[in-house]
Amino acid sequence: MSKFVEKSTVISGIGQSDIGRRLFRDPLELTLDACLAAIADAGLTTKDIDGVATYPGPMSVPPGFSGAGVVDVQDALRLDLGWWSGGIESPGQLGSVINACLAVAAGLANHVLCFRSVWEGSAQGTKGRASTMPGGGGGGSFRASGFMEWTLPFAAPSAAPWIALMAQRHFYEFGTTREQLGQIPINARKNAGLNPKAIYTEPMTMDDYLNVRMVSSPLSLYDCDVPCDGGTAVIVSHVDTIPDLRRPPVHVDAVGTALRGRPSWDQFDDLTTMACRDAAAQLWTRTDLTPSDVQLAEMYDGFSFIALAWLEAMGFCGHGEGGPFVEGGQNIARDGGVIPLNTHGGQLSAGRLHGYGFLHEACTQLWGEGGARQVPGNPEVGVACAGGGPLAGALLLTTHR
Amino acid sequence: MSDTAVPDATAPEVPFRILPALTDLNREFWTAGARGELRFLRCNACGYYNHPPTMICPVCHSKDLAPHSVSGKATLHTYTVNHQPWMPGPELPYVIAIVELPEQAGLRLTTNVVNCPHEDLVIGMPMRVTFEHHSDGDDEIYIPLFEPDPQARAS
């Protein structure tokens, strides 16, 4: 047995609720729909689930950011748990899944239900993004504190300008262009057209991309993901339980969780990359596989530039080479690309399921269940990467040991 | 800095801003603009500027830190022209930037660039601090904004 304990864990099932721009449904219902689907997908019942993990746990602010916490699900499904964990301080959204892997490897649980649910679309309703900004869009006696103390007084309350600042620095240092970056949303939209659950599916051209309104230069509307409602769940199980599962699982070959720079959107040592740089590097020290073995990459695209940073960090191209790498789109194409990227449409077009959507899609593809969007050639190795700025967590997944 | 007029928040051109909650650690940073000074918490033992401020120096672990004025000069590290109305604030579009201070490698501030046509923004350009005054209750807060440094341009 390898010293890397994540290799004793598998993804045994995945589930997703209805996904929509604004469903106006009970967030706990969406959460439970996803959880029950994942449990059934694994061939298990609620009596088999002995662990629960989630990101970020119950939060009322910002509205719609969290659909449920661990105890909501534990009580709703009357689960008996040997281990549980929920919280926002972890290596990105998938840090909760990695926590589950470690708990399973440690013997605290055999089958951990992991979930993430959002209802940001409904929370914004018709009031727009300003209604969910910190301070409720201003007014009253609200004062900024914590890390937002250093951004809110400068009318920079959103990750859009924070990431735009990094993208602009990358453009400056490496000559990256909007035409290059635009391949990430265009590729996502193309793939979303084959995903029946995607939010936006109509084709997007480069002209569409270059002419849509700017949000925070160089990021335009199409560089920003789409708030939505929905829940996603996965089951992390121990390899010893494989005989109990409905189908051969997806194996966790390696994880990356490092945070080596300052945990800040403006004080990080190199603003042309992010914490993903170190999480990815760590992942490759825990496996015999290399980037050239990977056949699909599901990478966080809350903003297009984050996916570019992940492509570089994971070694699919060198640092600073992301622009030329994605130029023209062929290298990241679902059908025939060097590394098919965000084969479901990513958060840019399939909806902001906030990290878990990438793991769900990686497993879907590795099980050959992608339908019209299936990556050809029976892919056996994929990566799921989530988080931007100081948040980063990655899993390397395979169909076999 | 002393030749820079400090706008008055009662004047109509001063935008709404969410103001920082003042603490013993950050008060000098947000209020020293009253004297035209930009001040950071600095370690008296090793000279490290500790920002955002915490009470133990992250380099030498000394607890002997005190506010220290810097030159107010900076270089434009990166910027974005923001077009999205996230919240009440400066007139759209406005510039959000990260500037780096010459006093210490990697010592940066997120800020707004003012008094500069957007087409003139160039990463690496010399900047200087200018303050925007806001009164709120008992607090007199001076938001450090940055503008092109005309002295650096002339040289």
User: A137-188, pLDDT tens digit by residue?
Assistant: 555 678 999 989 999 999 999 999 999 999 999 999 999 999 999 999 999 9
In a domain, A91, yes or no: yes
pLDDT score recorded for residue A401:
72
Out of B21, B84, B88, the one facing A144 most closely (by C-beta) is: B21
CATH number at residue A305: 3.40.47.10
Is the pLDDT assigned to residue A349 strictly greater than 70?
yes
Select the residue from B19, B24, B31, B84 to test the A interface by mutation, using most A Cβ atoms within 10 A: B84
The 10s digit of each residue's pLDDT in B32-45 is: 999 999 999 999 99
In a domain, A199, yes or no: no
Mean pLDDT of A330-348: 98
> What's chain B's average pLDDT?
93
Written as six digits, the tokens of B114 are 């003012």
Written as six digits, the tokens of B77 are 């590290």
In a domain, A165, yes or no: no
Written as six digits, the tokens of A312 are 């570089």
Q: What angle do CA B11, B13, B17 make, to 5 degrees?
A: 95
Out of B80, B86, B89, the one facing A217 most closely (by C-beta) is: B80
In a domain, A214, yes or no: no
Is the pLDDT assigned to residue B5 strictly greater than 70?
no
Residue B51 with chain A: CB contacts under 8 Å: 267
Is the pLDDT assigned to residue B8 strictly greater than 60?
no
The 10s digit of each residue's pLDDT in B58-89 is: 999 999 999 999 999 999 999 999 999 999 99
Select the residue from B80, B113, B138 to test the A interface by mutation, using most A Cβ atoms within 10 A: B80
The 10s digit of each residue's pLDDT in A211-223 is: 999 999 999 999 9
Nearest CA in chain A to B76: A169
Residue B17 with chain A: CB contacts under 8 Å: 153-155
Is the pLDDT assigned to residue A353 strictly greater than 70?
yes
Interface contact flag, B143 A160, Cβ < 8 Å: no
Mean pLDDT of B43-62: 97
A212 lies within 8 A of chain B by CB: no
Residues 14-43 of B with CB under 8 A from A: 15-21, 23, 26
Q: Identify the bridge partners of residue B48 per DSSP, sorted by sequence position.
A: none
Q: Identify the bridge partners of residue B129 per DSSP, sorted by sequence position.
A: B146
Long-range contacts of A83-86 (CB under 8 A, 24+ apart): A83/A50, A83/A51, A83/A108, A83/A109, A83/A112, A84/A51, A84/A52, A84/A53, A85/A52, A85/A53, A85/A54, A86/A52, A86/A53, A86/A54, A86/A55, A86/A56, A86/A57, A86/A58
Nearest CA to B3 out of B95, B59, B103, B72 is that of B72
Show the domain range for A55. Answer: 5-124+226-398
Is the pLDDT assigned to residue B12 strictly greater than 70?
no
Interface contact flag, A129 B97, Cβ < 8 Å: no
DSSP A333-392: -TTT-SS-B-TT-HHHHS---TTHHHHHHHHHHHTT--GGGPPSS---EEEEEE--TT--
The 10s digit of each residue's pLDDT in A113-141 is: 999 999 999 998 877 776 677 665 555 67
What share of chain A has pLDDT > 70, as a percent?
97
* pTM to 2 decimal places: 0.96
Q: Confidence class of residue B13 from pLDDT cuts 50, 70 and 90?
A: confident
**Domains: count for chain A:** 1
The 10s digit of each residue's pLDDT in B118-139 is: 999 999 999 999 999 999 999 9
Determine the Cα–Cα distance for residues A314 and A322; give it in Å rounded to an integer.
11
Interface contact flag, B80 A267, Cβ < 8 Å: no
Determine the Cα–Cα distance for residues A164 and A149; give it in Å rounded to an integer.
19
Amino acid identity at B89? G
Residue pairs between chains A and B whose CB atoms are closer than 8 Å: 127
Interface contact flag, B86 A130, Cβ < 8 Å: yes
The 10s digit of each residue's pLDDT in A34-53 is: 999 999 999 999 999 999 99
Q: Sketch the domain layout of chain B as residue ranges.
A: 23-70, 71-155
A156 lies within 8 A of chain B by CB: yes
Q: Confidence class of residue A262 from pLDDT cuts 50, 70 and 90?
A: very high
Interface contact flag, B84 A160, Cβ < 8 Å: yes
Nearest CA to A299 out of A286, A289, A312, A290 is that of A312
pLDDT score recorded for residue A155:
97
pLDDT score recorded for residue B1:
42
The ipTM value here is 0.94
User: Which range, of A130-139, A185-194, A237-246, A351-360, averages the lowest pLDDT?
Assistant: A130-139
Interface contact flag, B82 A156, Cβ < 8 Å: yes
Written as six digits, the tokens of B68 are 């220290």
Is the pLDDT assigned to residue B108 strictly greater than 70?
yes
Residue B109 with chain A: CB contacts under 8 Å: 150, 266
Is the pLDDT assigned to residue A333 strictly greater than 50?
yes
Residue B89 with chain A: CB contacts under 8 Å: 138, 155
Written as six digits, the tokens of B143 are 């938001």
B82 lies within 8 A of chain A by CB: yes
Interface contact flag, B19 A143, Cβ < 8 Å: yes
Determine the Cα–Cα distance for residues B45 and B63; give it in Å rounded to an integer.
9
Residue A219 with chain B: CB contacts under 8 Å: 80
pLDDT score recorded for residue B3:
46
Question: How would you classify residue B4: left for phi > 0, otherwise alpha for psi between -120 and 50, otherwise beta?
Answer: beta
In a domain, A175, yes or no: no
